[in-house]
Structures are given as structure tokens and as C-alpha cells.
Structure 1
Amino acid sequence: MASAAKRAKMASGEGALAAFLAWAEREGLRVSPKVCVSREGTVADYGLVAREDLEAGEVLFSVPRTALLSQHTSPLAPLLQKEHASLESSSGWVPLLLCLLHESTDTHSRWAPYLSLWPGFSSLDLPMFWSREERKRLLQGTGVSEAVERDLSSIQEEFSSVVLPFMKAHPDLFNPKVHTLELYKRLVAFVMAYSFQEPLDDEEEGEPNPPVMVPLADLLNHVANHNANLEYSPERLKMVATRPILKGQEIFNTYGELANWQLLHMYGFAEPYPGNTNDAADIPMLTLLQAALEGAKTDQERQLTLEQWDYLCGLEMVGEEGAFVVGWEGVLTEEELYVSLKVLTMPAAEFKALKEPGAAEPSARAGGQLLSKAALPALNPAWKRLLSSAALLALKAYRSDLKSEEETLQQGQTYARLSSRERHALQVRYGEKKVLHHLLQLLSA
């Protein structure tokens, strides 16, 4: 039986949901009678469930652009437009975050019933809110910890240099004691996990569209094998079924073709193996250099490897913080890895000729799919040895091996005792290791 505290929390959540749905109707959102927002039968707190069978192409709901929460619809829009030059940042999110700072602390906000679905934004459990020790213990080798450290540094710098001066310049709108760095971090996580970016038209070029909050659409959960998709039109955004959906099934949107480490980093969850067909693993570029240096037999060969690496850096094919990305169907960063393998395995005479003035730069043949799943077994033996060594080094970066994690996943009671953070981190690590082992199998063929 649920505790009194849990029952009160559930009742509070249901009340917030009812208030939101009433608000949505007033704002002109149109919801098909064949679907309902629910807290039951979904993989996360909220979700969309089919009340009746649905056909591909059916509109599940639509949201008028006037109901979106963005830098253009907020009451702050004129001020943000006037001072846009001072709000530029590397993320491009500052205008929306300022709107959210203002709206989330204004009890009379037009979007209050919408934002009340996430009271205090405290339910967001992205790795940026884990302790550094916990990130290291659970996520070592995955690349998530490094991405989070970069995020936290950027958030601190952006808040101090852009947001805080703006708030101090407008004390009638903001109070630094209320609109704190901690709240700002929570809102960054909210935008990261729940916002949408409208894609540019095929003819459009330039900077991507800024993120916007799309009420109702952001309540749908994600799986790689999704069954709905958000479509954009001038007046309304529409969630459309992409294939038949049976009564009682949850309706899933897609957040993009994302690996599990990206899902955990940006959204706070991972898909259980083997559900995420977009899963991938990183081989840090410096790991390829390490493998090449370890394979060198003499000081002269090691010096040649370092010169070849400097040459690749000059081509901007590699970098200290970069990584080669490997998926189930082959290498996703194909050109970078192809050229790197080619240069790092060159004999000294061939490399000397490559550096001569006027020599053509090495490149991957266009459309060749030279590092696809089908092509990897046929690679040059020297390339296979180097890439295999790099993959093995990448596997050593994790704190546990594949076998022990496989045993945990197979032992239902043991897995069930793990915290949600531990389960998500395990799925990330396990999926990445499976991808790397798959790569090794292809290279050993």
C-alpha cells in the first residue's frame, strides 16, 4: 500500500495534470479523443497513451504557435529583442532561459499551469546534478562525465557574464536572490530535456532556430523505435502517428537518433539494451594516438607517429577532446577515422612525400562507405591492428568489464535493487561495450 506521503504526491501530480489540461484547452490545443495524457502505463512520470487503435498519419494533437513558450511569445520579447546583442552566448539559449526564469517565478504567468507540472524542476535527474564522485564511479569511460564538466563550466560562465548583468540592469523583473545560479542550472536541464528546435528548411542556411517549449508535446517519452513525430506548419505544430498504434499502447516521440550516453547526458535516462538501435561508443582520438605509439617498435617510429599526428591536427581531422564514433552499422565519423588510419600507418617515405608542397591531402572517397559494417572486415591489416588496439584501450577505460555487467543484467533481483541512476549508467556502459566488442569481431574476421 502506498504511504501517506506518496499518496499525497500522486494526488498533487494528478491535480497539476488536470489544471494543465484545462489550461491547454483554453489555449487552443486540440487533442484527439483517441489519446490521453497519463501517469499510468508509461515509462516515465507522464506520457501519452492510446485510448483506441490509431492508424498511421492520424493527428494525435496539435499546438498553436501562440501557446509555445519562447523568447518571441514571452512578455519579455520586446526587451529581449532590444537587447539581443548583449545576450549572445555559445549556447544560444539565454533569451529562452531568461523567459523561464521570469515565468517560473511569476504566480500570474500565463504558463503557470504548464510549468507547475515540474514543481521546482527538482524531478530532473540529469548527471549534472549527480556528485562528481558518483559520475566518476558510474560513468567512467562513457564520456558523460567530461561532457557534464564542460556543461557546468559553460553554465557558470554564461550566468556570470551574460545573465547576471542583464538581471541587475532590470531589477523590476529579476531578483538575484530568487533567480539564482541553482535555479538557472535547473532551467538549463529543463531546456535540455524538454525543449524542441524547429529544423531549418532545406533552402535555409545559417544558425539553427532557438529552442522553444512546446506544451503537451514535451510530455511524450522517447524510444528509438518511436511511433509518432512532431510536424511543423505555419500556424500549428502537430504530433502525428507514424505507424499503427494499438489501444493501450504508449505513444513515443523521438528526440533524435541518439546514443544512450547522449540520452543520459541530456535527458536523464537510457534505453535498456538492446532497444536503442542508435546506440554508439566513442573511441577518444587520443586513444588512437596512444595505440599507434604503443605499436611503434623504435624511437624513430614513435617520432614518426607524433609527426603524423601533428599533420592530422593541422588537417583538423583530430583533436585532444575529439572522438571517433562507432555504431552498430559501422563508423559514424568515417572521414576522420579513415584519414587518421591512413596517415598513422604510412611508411616514412610515403609520409615524407605527402608533406611535399603541392601534394594532395588524403581523403576518404566520397560515398565509399569504407568503414561500414560490411567493409570493416576487409580493411588493410595494419589499419585493423591499429583500430583494434584503440578499441581495446577504450574498453580498459571503464571500471568494470562486460561479463560482470552482463551477469548483473541477467540477475533480475540484483538489477532491481539498483537505483535508477545505477540502472541508467549500467545500460550506457553495457551498450557501449557491446558496440566496441562488435567492432572487434568485425576487425578480427
Structure 2
Amino acid sequence: MATEVKRPKMDEGVEFRLNRFLQWCDQVCLKLSEKVYVTHEGTAAEYGMLAKDDIEEGEVLFTVPREAILHEESSKVSGVLDKEEEILKSASNWVPLLMALLHEYTSSQSRWRPYLSLWDDFRKLDHPMFWSKDERDTLLKGTGIPKAVDTDLDNISKEYSDVILPLMTKYSEYWSPQTHTLELYTQLVAFVMAYRFEPFQEPDEDDDDDNEDEQEIASSPPMMVPMADMLNHIANHNANLEFTPDSLKMVSVRPICKGEEVFNTYGQMANWQLLHMYGFTEPFPNNSNDTVDIPVSNFYKAAQGITSELELSLLEEKWKMLNEMEENKPIIFGEQGCLTDTALNTVLKVFSMSKEEFSDFKESEGWEEDDENEEDTALTLSKEGLPKVQAIWKKLIHGATKLTLHGYKDSKNEGREDDPDKMIMENKEAFTKLNSRQQRALHVRYGQKSILYELLELTKP
């Protein structure tokens, strides 16, 4: 994981653990290119990979045999996990892997011990789930993270009591509630959040029968991939993990200069997602994938502000219908405009309908014929298109944006120039006085608010 703050120099214990891990890599035939090396110094986080020499695009940096990958089927407890497959099913699909990790992390005989011992305390990942509730609610107010973490912690606790504890009692030769506590389980959830790999969710529909091995990989559960999780993330990454039937390979996707850090990508992740799932952020404004959510309820409230008293009952009907249509998920905006343009298009059209138009809409149970295709809608609600939308749409977007801004910490004003977060971001001395959590929270908040401020400019009446 990448952070904007360098961690202090690691102690000799970390050096010992890293050397033992590299020896283990040799034993399991994990092949590392001579052009790279793993280190705990000079990288973006606790561990990282640096280039010893110049690397060209398309070079293999390391190869991980499938036998070295840790997942539910490769664990010593795979038999139990197979037997209890139905009980272990969960929405996250992580429980079997977590059960395997509970055993392997605490077993002195585990074949993955040199790998798992790299992390002596998973709290160092510093996910918001390890922050106090007051820190989350204060520093991350308005970002959506506090609600997501509360949901996570509730699900973890329920999963542990309903699924994990009964299986521990049933298979006491592998697990013990005294050792495999809720606290450890929670920490391992953070570990899986930060370092898991999920190759593909579904086989490619275009694949033919000759690609059965590749399709088998495509349905693989989440897994832990030694060495691959040493690489940190940035949006402008220089390496990618490729999956083959026999191994996983990290391949350079552009030239890498000697001394440069090798970065993987976890996907197109906004800073709030990176902090929630991985415990770090990219410094503002480096994350080109940053996004912000505007609740549909804020469009409803904005509509109330521009609706006459005589039309309020009609507005209530519109809001009720949008909820019945399940058009109530947050509208997502990024640097280039609306990312959920179809949903926003529906919301704006419904709220701006006349009484007659809405009556026709209800009778036809939706759109009879929409003369706009998806490309037209995307262009209309893009950064370039927003200044040209009809006046009522501008008012709705502008009003919903203001309401969203008011939900952030210290957001007392509507202008970017008066924003306290902006003042701190531009004052290096003030920024360095913040602790690491405050800095990461600031990157999340100000990244989101910057998108909202631009949206206000684009939708000025």
C-alpha cells in the first residue's frame, strides 16, 4: 500500500523477517528478476520493490507458482473448509480464506509462516476500522467511510459469532476461541482487505472450450499472493499482475528507471476506497480516480427548494416513484463529470417533469421511448456538457452539490477559497503538523470537496 507519509526506519526484526521471507521464496520456486529487489527502505510503505536496473516495458519482474499461493484449497484446513462449504458461504466470499488464515497465521508448522510473519501486527495497516469512532466520525465526516466501517464491524462481529465460533468448537484441533479471537479475526479481515487478489469474477463469454484452464482461474476465490502484495499502489502504476494456468506474473507496463519504485494497481480506486479498504491514500491531487457521492435525497431536497407550495405534493409523488424504481443510489461524480450518468439522467428528468408529463410517465410505467442514447447522456452530464444543460437541471445539481458540501467537517462556507482544508493543504508547515490519520483524512475530504467545488462552478445559474 502507498501512503503520503514515510514510515520510520524499520528495526532489525523486520530485516530478519524479510530475509527469511526471501529465503522461503527460493524454496517455493518464486522467481524474482535480477533487476528488482524487495526492501523496507526508500519505498512508499513498510515494504516495497525497487528497480536495480532500467526495466523495459513487458519484462517479467517475478513469477509466483500456483503452489505458493495461499487460499482455502491450499491450506492445511482445506478438508474442513470443503466439508463445511455451505455454512461458510457469505456475501463477501471471504470467510473460507479467513478461516484458513486464522489457522495458518497462528500455526508454528504452517508452510506460509515466513510469509505471514512479515506482518507482526495487522493494526499497522491502520484501516479506519482501527481508528476510534470519534476519529472516524470527526475526521471522515461526509466522506461515506464512517458508515461503511460501521457496517463492516457489525458484519464482522455477526460473522464471528454466528459462523466462526461454532466451527471452532466443532474443530477444536485446528482453532481455539482463546487464540483465534474476534480481535484477531478483525485484523485478518483488514489484512485480506489490503492484500487479497481476486483474479476475475467470471470467465470471458468469448472464451471457447480450449481455454478451460483459464476459465478455472477466472472462478477462483480470493487469494493471498506472496511477493505480489509487496508492491504498493498508485493510479499511475508501472506494473500489472497477469494470471496464467501455472503461475502469476508481475509484468512491467511501461519503462521503469533504475532506483524507481515498482507500483502495482488495485484498480480504479478513489481515495475514500483506498483508505477504507487499504488504509492509505494518494496525496491530493495525484489520484486521477477520485470520486464523490451525492445522495439522491439531496436532489430531492434541492427540488423542494425550487418547488412552489402548490407543487409539493407532486414532488412527493415523484420521490416516492424514484424509490419504488430503486433510483435512490448515490450519484457518483469524478474529475470528468458524472460516472453514473444514466441514473442521474433519470433523477433529473423525473424531478423536472410537469404534472402532465409525470402523469404520462406513471401511466406508461417508465420511458416509452428515450430519444437519447447512452453516449448522448454521458456527454450531456460530462464536465464539458454540464454548463449547457437546461436551467432546472443546473439548479437541481447545484443545490444537491451545496447540500453535500455542508456535510463535511468544517464546511461552513460554499466557496473553495474559504475552505479550511484548502488552507491547510496549501500550508506545508500546517500540513506536516497533522498526524498521519489527519493527513489521510484530509486527502480524502479535500479530494471529494474539490470535485464538488468544480461542480458548483459548472452549474452556476
TM bucket (normalised to shorter chain) is over 0.9
The aligned counterpart of 2:362 is 355
One-letter amino acid of the structure 1 residue matched with residue 351 of structure 2:
L
Contact persistence 2:348–2:393 (CA under 8 A): yes
Contact persistence 1:96–1:211 (CA under 8 A): yes
Contact persistence 2:123–2:130 (CA under 8 A): no
Residues of 1 paired with 2:249 and 2:148: CA distance? 33
Q: Structure 1 length normalisation: TM-score? A: 0.94
The aligned counterpart of 2:211 is none
3-state secondary structure, aligned to 1:367? helix
Residues of 1 paired with 2:203 and 2:75: CA distance? 25
Q: Could you report, residue by residue, the CA deviation over 1:306-360 in whole angstroms, capped at 9, with x for unpaired residues?
A: 2111111222211xxx311100011111111110010011111110111115663
Q: Structure 2 length normalisation: TM-score? A: 0.91
Deviation at 1:18, TM superposition (A): 0.3
Please list, as runs of the form range in 1=range in 2, the aligned pairs for 1:254-333 lying within 5 A after superposition.
254-298=265-309, 300-318=310-328, 322-333=329-340
Deviation at 1:58, TM superposition (A): 0.4
Deviation at 1:120, TM superposition (A): 3.3
The aligned counterpart of 1:87 is 88
Residues of 2 paired with 1:202 and 1:250: CA distance? 32
Deviation at 1:375, TM superposition (A): 1.7
Residues of 2 paired with 1:120 and 1:374: CA distance? 47
Please list, as runs of the form range in 1=range in 2, the aligned pairs for 1:201-280 lying within 5 A after superposition.
201-203=203-205, 209-280=220-291
One-letter amino acid of the structure 1 residue matched with residue 265 of structure 2:
T
Q: Could you report, residue by residue, the CA deviation over 1:132-163 in whole angstroms, capped at 9, with x for unpaired residues?
A: 11101100010010111111111111111111
Deviation at 1:78, TM superposition (A): 2.0
Contact persistence 2:64–2:226 (CA under 8 A): yes
Residues of 2 paired with 1:417 and 1:360: CA distance? 55
The aligned counterpart of 1:135 is 136
Please list, as runs of the form range in 1=range in 2, the aligned pairs for 1:150-189 lying within 5 A after superposition.
150-189=151-190
Q: Could you report, residue by residue, the CA deviation over 1:179-219 in whole angstroms, capped at 9, with x for unpaired residues?
A: 11111000000000011101133228999642100001001
3-state secondary structure, aligned to 1:355? helix
The aligned counterpart of 1:366 is 374
Q: Could you report, residue by residue, the CA deviation over 1:97-140 in whole angstroms, capped at 9, with x for unpaired residues?
A: 00000001101110000011101323120001111111011000
Residues of 1 paired with 2:291 and 2:369: CA distance? 26
Contact persistence 2:125–2:279 (CA under 8 A): yes
The aligned counterpart of 1:420 is 436
Q: 1:430 to 1:208 in 2, by over 3 A?
A: farther
Q: What RMSD, in angstroms, separates the aligned Cα atoms of the two structures?
A: 1.8
Residues of 2 paired with 1:117 and 1:358: CA distance? 58
Contact persistence 1:124–1:186 (CA under 8 A): no
Q: 1:197 to 1:141 in 2, by over 3 A?
A: same
The aligned counterpart of 1:12 is 13
Percent identity of paired positions between Structure 1 and Structure 2? 46
Contact persistence 1:273–1:427 (CA under 8 A): yes
Deviation at 1:294, TM superposition (A): 2.5
Q: Could you report, residue by residue, the CA deviation over 1:251-276 in whole angstroms, capped at 9, with x for unpaired residues?
A: 10001101000000001111111100
3-state secondary structure, aligned to 2:333? strand
Unmatched segments (≥5 aa) in structure 1:
1-5
Contact persistence 1:329–1:373 (CA under 8 A): yes
Contact persistence 2:77–2:174 (CA under 8 A): no
Deviation at 1:367, TM superposition (A): 2.6
Number of residue-to-residue matches in the alignment: 435
3-state secondary structure, aligned to 1:238? strand
One-letter amino acid of the structure 2 residue matched with residue 427 of structure 1:
H
